[in-house]
Amino acid sequence: MKKITAILLSVTMGLTFIGCNGQTSRNDTGGQPTKSQDLNESKYAPGGEVVGEITVSCYDTISYKNFLDEAAKAFEEKYPGTKVNIETFSQMPDVKSQTVGGKTIMVIGKGEDNAQATDDYINKINTELMSGEGADIIAIDVIPYYKYVDSGQLENLNSYMELDESFQINDYFVNIFNAAKYKEGQYFLPIDYTFDYLSFDSSLFSESEQKPLLENDLFSYEQLIELGQQPYLNVNKVGEKDQVEMFGIFAQELFNKMWKENYNQFIDIEARTVNLNDGDFANLLNKVRDYEDRGYIKQGTKNKLGEASMGAFEKNKLEQYFYKANSSFSLLQFLNKDSKRKFGSTSQGNQENDIIAGQIEGNDGVVPYTYEQAYGLNSNSTNKTTAWAFMKFLASEEMQTSLNLFGIPVNKNALAEKTKLDITGQLFEPAGNELKTTELTSEQLEIYNNYMKVLGELSDRINTFFVQDTTINSIIDKEVENFFNGSKTSEEVTDILQNKIELYLSE
Amino acid sequence: MKSKRFDSTLLFILPGLVGFVIFFIWPFIISLGYAFVDQPVNGVFVGVQNFVDLFRNKAYLKGLMNTLIFMSISIPLNMFLSLGIALLVNKANKHKEAFTLLFLIPLVIPSGSTVFFWKMLFAYDGYLNYILSIVGITKINWLETSYVLFVVVLIFIWKNLGYNMVLILAGLNNIPKEYYEAAYVDGAGRFQCFRHITLINLLPTIILVLIMSIINSFKVFKEIYLITGNYPHSSIYMLQHFMNNMFHSLNYQRLATATSILVLMIAVITQFLFKMERKVSR
Amino acid sequence: MSHKAKEMISYAILVSISLIFIFPLIITVTNSFVTEMEIGLNYTTKLSLFDVLDQVSENFISMNIIPSQFSFGQYKEVLINQPSFIILLMNSIKITVPVVIGNLVISLLSAYAFTIWEWKYKEVLFFVYVIVMLMPLQAVLVPNYIIAEQLNIKESYLAIILPGIFSPFGTFLLRQGLKNMPMEYFEAAQIDGANKIQVLVYIVLPQMKSGIAALTMLTFIEYWNLVEQAIIFIKDYYKEPLSVFLSRIADGNIGVIFAASCIYMFLPFWFLIVGQKNLEKGIELSGIK
């Protein structure tokens, strides 16, 4: 038997040796690097020809797929000899029959946000990438991108952006790009951005109470609550049933916003540390519950009474709140009351007397943003020239004016163009097939100038994109729910979270 | 003459062996190779650094510890239960097939709906707590406290009992009836028959079942994840969670390192089991 | 009398344990005849408007064994309104059947060869067979992908079927079973002048009846439930097996989950009952010849 063990061991050793040989022979194209990190610092090689086939992979969300399809078609026309494949994650469309007025109709929809499907998508992408393959361009949507950077799967775009002369950095909101850097590298390119801006209902504040709101630009939630305390007492009579709330959101939603404003204080992904149990996190939980008890925010939890009826929606439109954190989607609509744009945050309540105050800031003056779409370049890609050309194309004026791009364009020229089209209403009802700017009337011009000024001011204050991790966020979401539904105390919740996230980051 | 006979046996093993080398040995080697590089693509040879790092990794050690605890509870328990039930089913003259089928049900139900079922049963507002509340016991958070280990062991046994039972039943049927007849003629009692014929002849099967139980104790985690998530209560954070999360993080080299240690450990156990088998059968 | 009493007791034990095992099945089957709306009400902890009016503050999930209203709605939804369901079911069959048959043939040949082979190192080779089987799935997904790429079978079912056919589990199972067979059987047959194939067909096969039955059953179930490989190798969702679809259903479409599960289970059940009997009969016949 000893003999067998010996043979087994030598076989295993032999096998591993062969395995290593197989390993090195597959990457002998790159010479003999001493450390594989160096390999990631591959530089942009100018003068490559834009030709051949590339693949873009994204998890199938509506915004990505439509935009990419449109871009692929235009790109292939612009560069003959190229082919762009859009690979979305295959998921069965959800066909449902509904009986309406005696008739059965079929409703085809994409399955909702499905945790299992997201997981499957990541598994698939990872298998391809770790095999040294995968799509040339990867949408940074559901994937925890910093892990892809850490394992060398994403190309650092710094040199591309610097050395490629056709890429003019000044055409873009540079602070948006810079905020997205991770370990000083530009590993992905956000091609649009969204952020929240703060407005208050001037009919609920006296003139002197409005003063601090108008004079400052950045506020923390705590400051806002403090500034709102006196007006709150003036407006609401004690013991009355329908109180005007400070924010039209539920406790867990507010909590989510508040802890994310201070993300870096609690979780530092670059350093792999988590700091939830020094009392601040628990204090924050209790603080939000206190706000709830005082009636500053909506009572109860969102889960329990999911009102989605038209009636509730209409009612909500009339509701007054002291403050509103609005998404940048609605900014133009806010400044242009007779806009033809019909989406945006109309569920935010009565906006008639709203005045923009500025933005909400986190610790250390952090003003964050998020994006709707962002892309990274696979470092295994065999056709980086074309892939980079396509990414540039996505950020070009031509594609940035597309209606399929929902966020604010990062391209300044495209933003100006798109805003004009939006104001004239042509963006949604193009005259003919061509999108062409007609002259703005003086009224429209005023709106345009005002919007560009306000948006410019708000955008310039943005300085952070949190390296977030959806896994951590969902761990926190799930656990915090136990606090707000009363089944666990804040200490219990923070202890559990500290342990779980510590474990996660130490893996 | 001799060489000719050798050739014909080779014909039997060759088709299987060729496919086995391509689809199992070769991936095995590739996978082991990753344990010695620093990243999955364009990696550089780093010697045993990955092994050193792994044994300093808190999450890995926790997973390893929990897995060992889980296995030492569930595998013997599952072994005895499935052996006992297989013997009972084998004795039942009527409805033998019906019972066999019954215990196979957990394997056939799609994992999606079993997961749904267990979730509904053990959720904080779930059916089990509903029953408890009727009896007057306060709600227990089954999935978020250390009770979750029992839940996991239960699900493991529920899922794998049938699997083992089928294997044991096949083993029982393989024992030639002549052995029992001969023993009966020799005047052996029931217990002696069981010990000297059933158990001894079942040994290859028992070893098969033990090894498969070890393998299946990893497989059942598909359900466990879906019920408790990737980051469950710390008492059921297993090696499999660790490996799955490594895969998610594209840390394939660490996954490969953890795997090779695991395989080495199981290889030693398997070796021991085979040794035992040979000793007894002699 | 005491013999009968004993039998009664063992039956009682069996029946009570079986009940625990089939509880999920009972729930699945009975709930498949419940209307989608009732499922929505039972399997949620959200409070409905009525609960609020009745001042109910807590709501538990309820599992009703008997539906309050009998309906074929779910089946209609799955079978008639979602034609893709049938396509997926066919895909599952296309993957599973070749694996079961191929694996059985390969395993039988290999197990037999391991039994009669007189090579010095055959135990070492056998040990390798077992060890390789121990690799966790995550660890072999990437190598499998690389190999499928090299063999150029990446986007076909072959990438799933071929590894299935050569899976060492069957060899392991059948060989452990063959260890009980007295060597004299082979020797006697050889003296009678039978060649190796004849020995395999007429002597080994009948003896291996229950081993083969167990192997086909377990292989069928394993590949019927396969999810991970399918996700990685199959790109077109009309080519996915049903198991992939069902693994995601728990999150969204719970209204039809029970009926879908019942249909999904039907085939393995049919296979276990009818298939097994025919298989065993077939083996017996081949032995008698």
Fill in the amino acid letter for A27: N
Q: At what angle do helices A470-484 and A490-506 cross, to 10 degrees?
A: 170
C-alpha to C-alpha distances, C210 to A209, B161, B167, C276, nearest whole angstrom: 86, 18, 9, 10
DSSP designation for A43: P
For residue C234, the chain A residues in CB contact (below 8 A) are 90
Domain CATH code at residue A500: 3.40.190.10
Return the partners of chain A (3 or more C-beta pairs < 8 Å).
B, C
Q: How many CA atoms lie within 13 A of C263 on its CB side?
A: 22
Question: In this structure, are residues A477 and A468 in contact, taking their beta carbons and an 8 Å threshold?
Answer: no
H helices of C32-150, where?
36-42, 49-53, 73-75, 84-116, 122-133, 137-150
The tokens of A408 are what? Answer: 């604010």
User: What pLDDT does residue A25 have?
Assistant: 38
- Residue A187 above 90 pLDDT? yes
Tens-place pLDDT, residues B174-214: 787 778 888 888 877 778 888 788 888 888 888 889 988 88
* Domain assignment present for A33: no
Q: Which of 3.40.50.920, 1.10.3720.10, 1.10.150.240, 3.30.450.20 would CATH assign to domain C81-288?
A: 1.10.3720.10
3-state secondary structure B67-136: HHHHHHHHHHHHHHHHHHHHHHHHHCCCCHHHHHHHHHHHHHCCHHHHHHHHHHHHCCCCHHHHHHHHHC
Whether the pLDDT of residue A307 is over 60: the answer is: no
Q: Give yes or no: residues A158 and A224 share one domain.
A: no
- Residue C194's region, left for phi above 0, alpha for psi from -120 to 50, else beta, is beta
Instruction: Tell me how far the alpha carbon of residue C125 is from its chain's centroid.
Output: 28
Residues A63 and A163 in one domain: yes
Whether C184 has a pLDDT exceeding 90, the answer reads no
Measured between CA atoms, the residue of chain A closest to residue B270 is A5
pLDDT at C106: 94
Q: How far is CA A213 from CA A133, A217, A328, A393, in A?
A: 53, 8, 19, 41
Q: Which helix (H) or strand (E) holds A333?
A: helix A331-335
Closest CA to A5 of B270, B215, B30: B270
Q: Examine residue A115 and state whether it is found in any structural domain, yes or no.
A: yes
Rounded Cα distance, B169 and B86, in Å: 6
The answer on A108 and A68 residing in a single domain is yes
Same domain, A216 and A329: yes
Residue A275 lies in a domain: yes
- Res. C119: pLDDT tops 50: yes
Q: Is there a contact between A304 and C231 if contact means CB atoms under 8 Å apart?
A: no
DSSP A225-274: HHHHHHHHHHHSPTT-SSPPBSSSSBHHHHHHHHHHHTHHHHEETTTTEE
CA A403 to chain centre: 18
Q: What is the mean pLDDT of residues C184-194?
A: 72
Q: Residue A196 carries which DSSP code?
A: E
Average pLDDT for chain C: 79
The one-letter amino acid at A216:
N
The larger pLDDT score, comparing residue C224 to residue B145, is at C224
Alpha-carbon span A187 to A197, nearest angstrom: 27
Q: What is the pLDDT of residue A73?
A: 93
Rounded to whole angstroms, the Cα distance separating B108 from B101 reads 10
Report if residue A134 sits inside a domain: yes
Task: Let me know if residue A81 belongs to a domain.
Answer: yes
A472 has pLDDT over 50: yes
Q: Whole-angstrom Cα distance, residue C212 to residue C112?
A: 13
CA distance C268 to C281: 19
pLDDT of residue C2: 66
What region, left, alpha or beta, does residue B54 occupy, with left being phi > 0 and alpha being psi -120 to 50 degrees?
alpha
Nearest by CB to residue B23, choosing from C162, C181, C221, is C162
For A298-309, what is the mean pLDDT? Answer: 53
Q: How far apart are CA A360 and CA A373, in angstroms?
A: 23
The domain tally of chain A equals 2
Give a yes or no: residue A29 inside a domain: no
Domain with CATH 1.10.3720.10 in chain C: 81-288
Which residue, among A245, C204, A126, A172, has the nearest Cα to B243 in the 3D structure?
Answer: A126
- Token output for B147: 């009770």
pLDDT digits (tens, 9 = 90+) for C53-98: 444 555 666 666 666 777 787 787 777 777 677 888 899 999 999 9
Same domain, A294 and A340: yes
In this predicted structure, the answer to whether residue A485 has a pLDDT above a threshold of 50 is yes
- pLDDT confidence bin for C162, thresholds 50/70/90: very high
Pair A137, A202 in one domain: no
d(CA B195, nearest CA chain C) in Å? 16
The dihedrals phi and psi of A77, each to the nearest 5 degrees, come to: -70, -40
Residue B116: the pLDDT is 77
What average pLDDT does range C207-222 have in this prediction? 85
Q: What distance in Å separates the CA atoms of residue B267 and residue C278, rounded to the nearest whole number? A: 38
**CA–CA separation, B208 and B223 (whole Å):** 23
Of A15, A116, A151, nearest to B29 by CB-CB distance is A15
Tokens encoding C172: 């392991």
Mean pLDDT of A23-39: 40
The answer to whether A485 contacts chain C (CB < 8 Å) is: no
Chains that touch B (3 or more CB pairs under 8 A): A, C
Count contacts between A and B (CB, < 8 Å).
Answer: 126
**In this complex, is the C-beta atom of B200 within 8 Å of any C-beta atom belonging to chain C?**
no
Q: Are residues A264 and A385 in the same domain?
A: no
Which residues between 216 and 275 in chain B have a beta carbon less than 8 angstroms from any beta carbon of chain C? 218-219, 222, 226, 240, 243-244, 246-247, 252, 255-256, 259, 262-263, 266-267, 270-271, 274
Contact A15 B271 (CB under 8 A): no
Q: What pLDDT sits at residue C160? A: 92
A190 and A229 in a single domain? The answer is no
> What is the interface pTM, i.e. ipTM, of the complex?
0.82
Contact C165, C106 (CB under 8 A): yes
The CA distance from A189 to the nearest CA of chain B, in Å, is: 21
* A332 and A392 inside one domain: no
Low-confidence winner among A52-61, A451-460, B52-61, C4-13 (lowest mean pLDDT)? C4-13
Highest mean pLDDT among B131-145, C35-49, C182-196: B131-145
Contact A319, A243 (CB under 8 A): no
Q: What's the DSSP call for residue A108?
A: E
What does chain C come to in residues? 289
Percent of all residues in chain B with a pLDDT value above 70, rounded to a whole number: 96
Q: Give the range of the structural domain holding residue A401, as residue numbers without chain letter.
A: 40-194+372-412
- Average pLDDT, stretch A69-86? 92
Residue B21's pLDDT band (cuts 50, 70, 90): very high
What is the per-residue pLDDT across C190-199, written as a single tens digit (0 to 9) for each? Answer: 777 677 777 7
Percent of chain A with pLDDT over 90: 17
For residue range A5-21, list pLDDT tens digits in order. 444 444 444 444 444 44
Q: In C171-256, where do the E strands start and end? A: none
Mean pLDDT of A187-194: 92
pLDDT in tens, B240-268: 888 888 888 888 899 999 988 988 888 89
Which residues on B lie below 8 Å from A150 (Cβ)? 249-250
Mean pLDDT check: name the lowest of A169-173, B276-280, C38-42: C38-42
- Do A45 and A129 belong to one domain? yes
The SS3 call for residue A99 is: strand
Within a domain: residue A21? no
Interface of C with B in 250-269 (CB under 8 A): 250, 254, 257-258, 260-261, 264-265, 268-269
Residue A435 has pLDDT above 60, yes or no: no
Q: Which residues on chain B are in Cβ contact (under 8 Å) with C18?
A: 99, 102-103
Please enumerate in sequence order all residues whose Cβ is within 8 A of that of B261, keeping only pairs 6 or more positions apart, or say none.
Answer: B51, B54
pLDDT at B120 over 70: yes
Residue A30 has pLDDT above 50, yes or no: no
Q: Is the domain of A229 the same as that of A359? A: yes
Q: Are residues A200 and A187 in the same domain?
A: no
Using an 8 Å CB-CB cutoff, list chain C residues near A90.
234-237, 240
Q: Which domains does chain B have, with CATH numbers?
A: 53-281 (1.10.3720.10)
Residue-wise pLDDT tens digits, A130-142: 888 889 999 998 8
Q: Looking at the domain assignment, is residue A458 inside a domain? A: no
* A503:B234 CB<8 A: yes
DSSP result, chain B: -HHHHHHHHHHHHHHHHHHHIIIIIHHHHHHHHGGGBSSSSS--B-TTHHHHHHHH-HHHHHHHHHHHHHHHHHHHHHHHHHHHHHHHHHH--TTHHHHHHHHHHHHHS-HHHHHHHHHHHHSTTSHHHHHHHHHTPPP--TTTSTTHHHHHHHHHHHHHHHHHHHHHHHHHHHS-HHHHHHHHHTT--HHHHIIIIIIHHHHHHHHHHHHHHHHHHHHTHHHHHHHH-SS--GGG--HHHHHHHHHHTT-HHHHHHHHHHHHHHHHHHHHHHHHHHHHHH-
Rounded CA-CA distance A132/B41 in Å is: 6
Summarize pLDDT for A286-295 with one digit per residue, the tens.
999 888 888 8
State the pLDDT confidence band at A374, using cuts at 50, 70 and 90: very high
CB of B56 within 8 Å of a chain C CB? The answer is no
> In sequence order, what are the residues at sequence separation of 6 or more whose Cβ sits closer than 8 angstroms to the Cβ of residue B238?
B63, B66, B67, B70, B221, B224
